[in-house]
């Protein structure tokens, strides 16, 4: 029996999950879990990349103890963030996407390449943390002088395992520098911005073996976690999905990118999938709820939080995607500033957060149907957020869709599926 290892790292935690096929079904076992989170240092939000690598290796060791015959492994993470390299040496720090270092850079990028032109080329929604803005910030700060490579986080982690540097397609598309039509880095944009051309090699597709680590193949899955999550959804027919975690990624598979004016106006993205385009939108997600819990009632079980939120009668809502919620020092204060009425208790904040998310989902679904010219009856929700029956009910009520909530590790399942399909010859 062949075993495979998916290493799925999110903004708040990482997990090692071993998978295998048994009687035609995919079986899984979580063998290791570790915490993650950005740290504030010298006024910036940073990732402890070295610590992530140590946790990755520790989890692999644990997995090998339980399953000595693991055939291959792959790593997925969130998008847009990267490690700069000078040969085999890291040029730290590794900045977190929630850091504010691009704020003054964005207007300068748009002076060189207006956003409408960026969108026509790449089809990527505006987000202040897109890789294009981060790299331009590095350029202005002199950090690209002497840099030989930049590696998106999952590719950097796999490089440190197998010694091979690659740029994987799905994750590269998240950054706003890949041409939506060609599926390769857009060298016209890169030259216009003055970014070093040698940093942008040919992209590699999911399902590629790039090296070996202790006798195991190191394989490229869809290294952007949402790309893998979509591969892990047992979907019937064509339907929208929400990959619900720290972020809620709401979208649908399309044959080709949609880079028209309406898609730009509504700030939709076209990201790489495994043989298809993912037309999707970032919504703030469970970040709102998780940060409120840490601030207002750390240690209180989410079951109790949800029960109290359901009993609350606070009906005011906020724009869950407002920039004010991106990285506030106090999430409670951020809600207070956005609300006209003051919540009377903790439960009011949570009810407001859940209802606001559901309304954001409704708006996004309406835009999706308008922009694609299609009507959808069903909405799949996967990931940690799918465990919230309260949010699922609010979402069904707000959107009028049949909500199919699958509280599964969809990202790890997609990661594993790609590895298995490669070894079984179906890629």
> Using one digit for the tens of pLDDT, what is the confidence trace for 282-316?
999 999 999 999 999 999 999 999 999 999 999 99
Q: What is the pLDDT of residue 26?
A: 94
Q: Which one-letter DSSP state was computed for residue 140?
A: H
Q: Check: CB of residue 401 under 8 Å from CB of residue 369.
A: no
Average pLDDT over the chain reads: 96
pLDDT band at 408 (very low <50, low <70, confident <90, very high): confident
Q: What is the pLDDT of residue 154?
A: 98
**CA–CA dist 368, 379 (Å, integer):** 12
How far CA 138 is from CA of 95, 110, 195, in Å, comes to 10, 16, 10
> Using one digit for the tens of pLDDT, what is the confidence trace for 140-199?
999 999 999 999 999 999 999 999 999 999 999 999 999 999 999 999 999 999 999 999
Q: What is the pLDDT of residue 134?
A: 98
Q: Check: CB of residue 11 under 8 Å from CB of residue 80.
A: no
As annotated, the active-site residues are 225
Average pLDDT (211-222) is 98
Average pLDDT (401-410) is 93
Q: Which one-letter DSSP state was computed for residue 124?
A: P
How far CA 343 is from CA of 8, 158, 298, 312, 314, in Å, comes to 37, 46, 19, 10, 7
Q: What is the pLDDT of residue 263?
A: 97
Q: Sheet of 70-76: strands edge to edge? A: 25-35, 13-22, 3-9, 70-76, 216-220, 208-213
Q: pTM higher than 0.75 for the full model?
A: yes
pLDDT at 381 over 90: yes
Q: What is the pLDDT of residue 424?
A: 83
Q: Are strands 269-272 and 277-283 parallel, antiparallel or unpaired?
A: antiparallel
pLDDT at 250 over 90: yes
Q: What is the pLDDT of residue 349?
A: 98
Give percent of the chain with pLDDT exceeding 90: 96
Give 425: exposed, middle or buried? Use CB within 10 Å, 0-12, 13-18, 19+: exposed
Q: What is the pLDDT of residue 335?
A: 98
pLDDT at 426 over 80: no
pLDDT at 391 over 90: yes
pLDDT at 427 over 70: no
């Amino acid at each position: 029996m062949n075993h495979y290892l998916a290493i799925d790292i999110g903004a708040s935690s990482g997990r090692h999950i071993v998978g295998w096929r048994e009687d035609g079904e995919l079986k899984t076992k979580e063998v290791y879990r570790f915490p993650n989170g950005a740290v504030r240092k010298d006024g910036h939000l940073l990732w402890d990349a070295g610590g992530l690598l140590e946790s990755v290796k520790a989890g692999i060791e644990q997995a090998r103890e339980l399953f000595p015959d693991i055939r291959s492994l792959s790593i997925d993470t969130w998008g847009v963030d990267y490690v700069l390299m000078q040969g085999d040496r890291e040029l730290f720090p590794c900045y977190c996407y929630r850091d504010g270092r691009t704020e003054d850079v964005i207007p300068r990028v748009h002076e060189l390449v207006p956003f409408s032109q960026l969108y026509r080329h790449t089809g990527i929604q505006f987000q202040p943390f897109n890789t294009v803005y981060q790299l331009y910030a590095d350029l202005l700060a002199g950090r690209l002088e002497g840099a030989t490579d930049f590696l998106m986080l999952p590719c950097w982690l796999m490089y440190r395992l197998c010694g091979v540097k690659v740029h994987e397609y799905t994750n590269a598309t998240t950054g706003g520098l890949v041409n939506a039509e060609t599926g390769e880095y857009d060298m016209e944009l890169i030259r216009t911005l003055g970014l070093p051309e040698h940093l942008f090699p040919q992209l590699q597709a999911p399902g590629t073996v790039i090296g070996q680590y202790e006798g195991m193949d190191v394989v490229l899955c869809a290294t952007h976690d949402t790309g893998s999550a979509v591969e892990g959804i047992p979907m019937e027919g064509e339907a929208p999905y929400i990959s619900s975690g720290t972020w809620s990624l709401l979208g649908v598979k399309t044959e080709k990118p949609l880079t028209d004016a309406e898609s730009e106006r509504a700030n939709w993205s076209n990201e790489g999938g495994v043989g298809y385009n993912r037309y999707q939108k970032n919504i703030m997600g469970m970040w709102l709820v998780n940060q409120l819990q840490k601030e207002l009632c750390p240690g209180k079980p989410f079951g109790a939080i949800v029960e109290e939120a359901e009993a609350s009668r606070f009906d005011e809502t906020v724009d869950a995607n407002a920039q004010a919620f991106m990285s506030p020092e106090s999430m409670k204060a951020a809600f207070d500033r956005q609300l006209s009425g003051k919540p009377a208790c903790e439960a009011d904040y949570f009810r407001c957060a859940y209802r606001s998310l559901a309304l954001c989902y409704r708006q996004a679904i309406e835009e999706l149907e308008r922009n694609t010219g299609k009507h959808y009856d069903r909405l799949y929700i996967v990931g940690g957020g799918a465990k919230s029956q309260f949010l699922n009910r609010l979402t069904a009520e707000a959107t009028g869709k049949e909500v199919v909530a699958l509280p599964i590790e969809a990202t790890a399942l997609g990661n594993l599926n790609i590895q298995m399909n490669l070894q079984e010859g179906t890629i």
